[in-house]
């Protein structure tokens, strides 16, 4: 049979990046150094038209980092480059075999276009830890003293990128929380000094077991599992658990104090803060951290809100009805979500110069805006008719600020709905989150008559020709390779 092999280096003895066969289209491969090797192999059975490939050099970034520190995408907080491929290898300090990574990203709103991938080891073929895209705050833990981070972008649109912090200097006990997970890390040497080991630890739900490495014991679990209890304190949502250990399961008495860690995740304004304190004899220890809510905003095809729109950019016509849902990625029936303000703009990064309000302070401003549900459920849904900004491109971006309140508080800002003026909130406190979605690309007659012009390609050409964009050429240190394969056997 017929194949195309791509190797990450100067010979076929280098690491295999991938194999292309059959009628596969648009495969893309990235090198990690100066060389790519391509090998085409065919047998003697059937001949066909073969393949065509293009390659280009892309911007140099990435590197090897040790211990603790920060790193970011090229030009952060300004816009990163098209077709970037950056790889960082993180290595922990001696005697600390676990890495902790926290990143804040502001990427193009397309998870298949620009994204960050994290691997649990020194290579890109190490176990996959997760993928970061859109605007989010994410946290990852390694199970060894290495972690690999890869940043990839395409050639369509750009964002402001990301900034990440990593550390391998862990305190004896720490906790990190988000609206998705609670992560508790205990040093084994610290446990051993108290006469315990990792196998003796358990949570409120003893079936939730930790991951135990050479130096650390890690509990990682969703907030609504493992025996977490949820309470409301002054309008705040607090998740609580207890981590315990006993020295022996035998006998009737002991003169050794029982080990106990009380773990609290408190949802603060526009973020999550964490408090962990140890209950052991008369000593208390407090450790704090920060995080954010994980919410998402997506388009749907109709008012049934059944099928999501997967097209990017979302191509629509003037006056077309648009259907949008905002929700928390982990649903919680004890919370409600309220749409406070939604602003449209011709730019994804400027909602001040030319704002157009759909809803403001919970009050509809645009006469086509209609909310199906807001302030009564852990999600919100609304619709409006598409429009275009004058003297601007065909793209429209939408930024929405939502409030998150306890469902049991009927005096909260979420329950009061439209307020004509901003007044002091006499009810309970609430949480806020801002999301951006787009672009919504308006189709004109020129596009419907000539389907061969792709929207993204036209945007690039229009940007470079009409606005006079040019770039300075630099020598990179890796390649970008894209295949168009035609009917290989």
Residue 460 domain-assigned (yes or no): no
Question: CB 39: neighbour CB atoms within 10 A?
Answer: 13
User: Which residues span the domain enclosing 32?
Assistant: 3-55+477-485
Give the three-class secondary structure for 201: strand
List CB contacts of 449: < 8 A, sequence separation 6 or more. none
Tell me, yes or no, whether 304 and 350 share the same domain: yes
* CATH number where 307 lies: 2.60.40.4100
For residue 462, give the H/E element and its range: helix 455-466
Among residues 114, 138, 167, the one where a domain terminates is 167
Tell me, yes or no, whether 101 and 162 share the same domain: yes
SS (H, E, C) 362-385: CEECCCCCEEEECCCCCEEEEEEE
Residue 467 domain-assigned (yes or no): no
Sequence-ordered strand ranges (E) for 248-307: 259-268, 271-279, 286-291, 295-300
DSSP state of 47: -
C-alpha–C-alpha distance, residues 177 and 170, integer Å? 16
Tell me, yes or no, whether 212 and 146 share the same domain: no
Tell me, yes or no, whether 247 and 360 share the same domain: no
Residue 424 domain-assigned (yes or no): yes
For residue 62, give the nearest of 151, 137, 126, 167 by alpha carbon: 151
CA dihedral of residues 199, 204, 210, 214 (deg, nearest 10): -50
Query: Helix and strand tally (H, E) in the chain?
Result: 4, 35
C-alpha 15, offset from chain centre: 29
Tell me, yes or no, whether 38 and 142 share the same domain: no
Tell me, yes or no, whether 314 and 418 share the same domain: yes
Strand 271-279 to 286-291 pairing: antiparallel
Which strands make up the sheet holding 211-212, listed edge to edge? 173-177, 181-187, 216-222, 211-212
Please name the residue that has the structure tokens 């300090």.
93
Residues 309 and 329 sit within 8 Å (Cβ to Cβ): no
Strand 181-187 to 100-106 pairing: unpaired
Tell me, yes or no, whether 439 and 327 share the same domain: yes
Strand 363-364 to 356-360 pairing: antiparallel
Tell me, yes or no, whether 234 and 328 share the same domain: no
User: Taking the model in full, what pTM does it have?
Assistant: 0.43
Tell me, yes or no, whether 30 and 100 share the same domain: no
Residue 233 domain-assigned (yes or no): yes
Among residues 109, 137, 167, the one where a domain terminates is 167
Among residues 291, 324, 349, the one where a domain terminates is 291
Tell me, yes or no, whether 287 and 299 share the same domain: no
Please name the residue that has the structure tokens 């951006």.
436
Residue 299 domain-assigned (yes or no): yes
Tell me, yes or no, whether 313 and 417 share the same domain: yes
Domain count within the chain: 4
| Bridge partners for 358 per DSSP | none
User: Each residue's pLDDT tens digit in the chain (489 positions)?
Assistant: 788 889 988 888 888 888 888 776 677 887 777 788 999 888 877 778 888 888 877 666 788 887 778 888 888 877 787 778 888 988 876 545 566 677 777 777 777 888 889 998 888 888 888 888 877 777 787 777 788 999 888 877 778 888 888 876 555 667 777 666 788 888 787 777 677 888 888 888 888 999 888 778 888 888 888 988 887 766 667 788 888 876 555 554 454 556 777 787 776 544 344 444 433 333 333 333 334 456 678 888 899 998 888 776 677 777 888 898 988 766 678 788 888 888 888 776 677 888 889 999 999 999 999 999 988 888 899 999 887 776 666 678 888 888 888 888 888 888 888 887 554 443 444 555 555 555 566 655 333 333 322 222 223 233 332 333 333 333 333 333 433 333 333
- Write down how long the chain is: 489
Tell me, yes or no, whether 11 and 28 share the same domain: yes
C-alpha–C-alpha distance, residues 423 and 220, integer Å? 41
C-alpha–C-alpha distance, residues 484 and 26, integer Å? 5
């Amino acid at each position: 049979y017929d194949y195309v092999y791509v190797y990450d280096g100067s010979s076929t003895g280098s690491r295999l990046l991938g194999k292309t066969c059959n009628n596969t289209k648009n495969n893309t491969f990235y090198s990690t150094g100066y060389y790519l090797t391509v090998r085409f192999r065919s047998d003697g059975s059937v001949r066909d038209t073969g393949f065509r490939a293009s390659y280009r050099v892309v911007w140099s970034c990435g590197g090897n980092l040790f211990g603790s520190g920060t790193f970011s995408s090229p030009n952060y907080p300004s816009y990163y480059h098209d077709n970037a491929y950056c790889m960082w290898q993180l290595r922990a300090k001696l005697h600390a075999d676990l890495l902790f990574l926290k990143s804040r990203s502001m990427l193009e709103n397309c998870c298949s276009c620009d994204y960050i991938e994290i691997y649990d080891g020194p290579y890109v073929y190490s176990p996959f830890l997760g993928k970061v895209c859109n605007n989010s705050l994410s946290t990852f833990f390694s199970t060894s003293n290495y972690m690999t981070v890869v940043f990839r972008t395409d050639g369509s649109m750009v964002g402001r990128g990301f900034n990440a912090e990593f550390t391998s200097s862990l305190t004896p006990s720490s906790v990190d929380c988000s609206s998705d997970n609670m992560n508790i890390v205990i040093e084994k040497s610290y446990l051993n000094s108290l006469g315990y080991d990792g196998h003796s630890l358990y949570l409120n739900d003893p079936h939730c077991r930790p991951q135990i490495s050479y130096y650390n014991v890690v509990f990682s679990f969703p907030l609504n599992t493992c025996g977490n209890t949820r309470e409301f304190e002054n309008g705040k949502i607090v998740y609580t658990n207890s981590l315990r250990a006993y020295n022996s399961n035998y006998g009737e008495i002991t003169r050794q104090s029982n080990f106990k860690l009380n773990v609290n995740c408190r949802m603060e304004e526009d973020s999550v803060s964490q408090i962990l304190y140890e209950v052991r004899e008369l000593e208390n220890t407090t450790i704090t951290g920060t995080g954010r809510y994980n919410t998402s905003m997506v388009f749907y095809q109709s008012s049934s809100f059944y099928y999501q729109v997967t097209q990017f950019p979302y191509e629509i016509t003037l006056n077309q009805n648009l259907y949008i849902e905002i929700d928390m990625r982990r649903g919680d029936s004890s919370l409600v979500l309220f749409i406070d303000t939604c602003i449209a703009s011709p730019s994804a990064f400027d909602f001040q110069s030319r704002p157009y309000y759909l809803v403001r302070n919970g009050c509809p401003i645009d006469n086509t805006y209609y909310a199906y549900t807001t302030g009564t459920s852990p999600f919100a849904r609304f619709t409006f008719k598409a429009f275009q900004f004058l003297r601007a491109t065909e793209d429209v971006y939408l930024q929405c600020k939502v409030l998150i309140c306890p469902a049991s508080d009927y005096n909260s800002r979420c329950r009061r709905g439209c307020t004509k003026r901003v007044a002091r909130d006499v009810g309970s406190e609430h949480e806020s989150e801002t999301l951006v979605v787009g672009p919504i690309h308006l189709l004109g007659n020129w596009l419907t008559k000539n389907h061969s012009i792709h929207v993204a390609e036209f945007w690039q050409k229009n940007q470079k020709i009409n606005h006079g964009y040019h770039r300075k050429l630099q020598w990179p240190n890796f390649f970008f390779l894209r295949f168009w394969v035609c009917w290989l056997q």
